[in-house]
């Protein structure tokens, strides 16, 4: 197939899933055309089946906000026509699904038909999408897509609860490339961070409010009171300064390292003993899956779709949002020498269920279904 993938080219979440999906499809013989405003972060190599088309965003003194959606729709029209695309797959509804609808209508006028699939990722529904300033357009563009997928049962439920959707939503969970995300031997790195063999705890996120990084620091502070431990914080975002201040207030700066945005997060995960994800909301929790693939158990909240991934009492624990005490007690339980290796093994076994080789065929099958009924 000749597939167009529209996504955000960013580090985490939907952008990563879209890029990894495109890469896997290309390895399966499909031609994949990425349409975004800059080169996706994980698309940093050459492959004969992968193409990148940059959206030309022209500005003009009249525009306080350059109309990205129009530039994107025009680029989609151009790529579908000149590259003979069979399908457009847009990731994150806003504004990709409505831009795709516009492109589809323009192409129809030119006697070209193109099926559109929208994948819902989370905040496009749970935080941004249901805001009255976007809701009518989001509802319309989901209903007008030829196929819709959601990354968890919980996100599907949320979508049906908050929007007036008559379109079927197929649940296709996120996935992981186990060739990349696997425990690697990084003893020198572990020794540098934990010179006295302390337990290593990790958190990765975009440091937005919804991630509740303050809970990560508070749980770590409590763990640190009971056992020797270090905390690595990977990523960056709006809450970072506040979090640095909190570390100072708690007097834990010595044991906490802010690493910023890292490409090779799997190297950090390879030497970690526990991953913390106390999010307020999380449609899936890709960062937790990446940790589990590197044999790291997860203490998470029980919000959104996380319990569909992190099995309570098996691969880690799921706790109520904000329950720092429960998260601390359960972290200490996992870190007991007699428990840790059982949790690590279970985390890896669970991650294997989400291997890209299991999930890719679900997308391919869905593409075929949508194409044959569009």
Using CB under 6 A as the criterion, which residues of the chain lie in contact with ligand GMT when the complex forms? Answer: 12-14, 17, 92, 121-123, 126, 151, 174, 206, 210, 281-286
Strand order across the beta sheet in which 298-301 lies: 256-260, 229-234, 199-204, 274-277, 298-301, 316-319
Cβ nearer to ligand GMT, comparing 92 with 367:
92
Cα-Cα-Cα-Cα dihedral sign, residues 71, 77, 82, 87:
positive
Cβ nearer to ligand GMT, comparing 19 with 123:
123
CB of 155 to ligand GMT, least distance (A): 7
CB of 15 to ligand GMT, least distance (A): 6
How many angstroms separate the CA atoms of 43 and 201, rounded?
29
Cβ nearer to ligand GMT, comparing 171 with 193:
171
Listed residue (175, 144, 171, 141) closest to 158, CA to CA: 171
How many angstroms separate the CA atoms of 155 and 248, rounded?
37
Listed residue (136, 141, 138) closest to 105, CA to CA: 141
Cβ nearer to ligand GMT, comparing 12 with 297:
12
Listed residue (290, 291, 252) closest to 275, CA to CA: 291
Cβ nearer to ligand GMT, comparing 15 with 190:
15
Nearest residue relative to ligand GMT (C-beta): 13
Listed residue (271, 288, 279) closest to 347, CA to CA: 288
CB of 129 to ligand GMT, least distance (A): 11
How many angstroms separate the CA atoms of 352 and 48, rounded?
28
CB of 97 to ligand GMT, least distance (A): 14
CB of 324 to ligand GMT, least distance (A): 20
CB of 33 to ligand GMT, least distance (A): 21
Cβ nearer to ligand GMT, comparing 210 with 362:
210
**Going along 100-253, which residue ranges are E strands?**
116-120, 147-150, 169-171, 199-204, 229-234
- Residue pair 268/242 in contact by the 8 Å Cβ criterion: no
């Amino acid at each position: 197939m000749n597939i167009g993938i529209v996504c955000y080219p960013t580090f985490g979440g939907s952008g990563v899933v879209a890029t990894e999906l495109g890469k896997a499809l290309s390895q399966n013989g499909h031609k994949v055309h990425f349409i975004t405003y800059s080169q996706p972060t994980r698309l940093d190599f050459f492959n004969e089946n992968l193409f990148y088309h940059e959206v030309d965003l022209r500005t003009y003194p009249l525009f306080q906000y350059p109309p990205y959606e129009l530039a994107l729709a025009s680029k989609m029209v151009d790529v579908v026509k000149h590259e003979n695309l069979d399908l457009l797959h847009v990731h994150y509804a806003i504004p990709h699904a409505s831009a795709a609808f516009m492109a589809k209508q323009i192409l129809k006028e030119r006697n070209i038909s193109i099926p559109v699939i929208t994948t819902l990722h989370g905040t496009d529904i749970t935080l941004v999408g249901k805001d009255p300033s976007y809701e009518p357009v989001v509802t319309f563009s989901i209903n007008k897509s030829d196929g819709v997928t959601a990354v968890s049962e919980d996100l599907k439920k949320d979508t049906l609860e908050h929007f007036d959707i008559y379109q079927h939503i197929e649940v296709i969970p996120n996935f992981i490339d186990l060739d990349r995300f696997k425990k690697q031997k990084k003893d020198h790195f572990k020794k540098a961070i934990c010179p006295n063999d302390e337990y290593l705890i990790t958190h990765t996120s975009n440091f937005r409010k919804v991630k509740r990084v303050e809970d990560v620091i508070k749980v770590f502070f409590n763990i640190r009171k009971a056992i020797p431990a270090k905390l690595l914080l990977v990523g960056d975002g709006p809450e970072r300064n506040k979090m640095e201040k909190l570390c100072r207030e708690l007097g834990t700066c010595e044991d906490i390292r802010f690493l910023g945005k890292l490409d090779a997060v799997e190297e950090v995960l390879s030497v970690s003993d526990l991953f913390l994800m106390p999010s307020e909301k999380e449609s899936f929790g890709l960062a937790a899956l990446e940790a589990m693939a590197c044999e790291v158990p997860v203490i998470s909240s029980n919000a959104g779709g996380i319990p569909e991934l992190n099995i309570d009492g098996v691969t880690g624990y799921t706790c109520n949002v904000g329950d720092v005490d429960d998260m601390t007690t359960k972290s200490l339980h996992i870190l007991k020498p007699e428990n840790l290796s059982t949790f690590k093994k279970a985390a890896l076994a669970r991650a294997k269920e989400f291997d890209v080789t299991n999930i890719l065929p679900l997308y391919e099958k869905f593409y075929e279904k949508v194409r044959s009924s569009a």
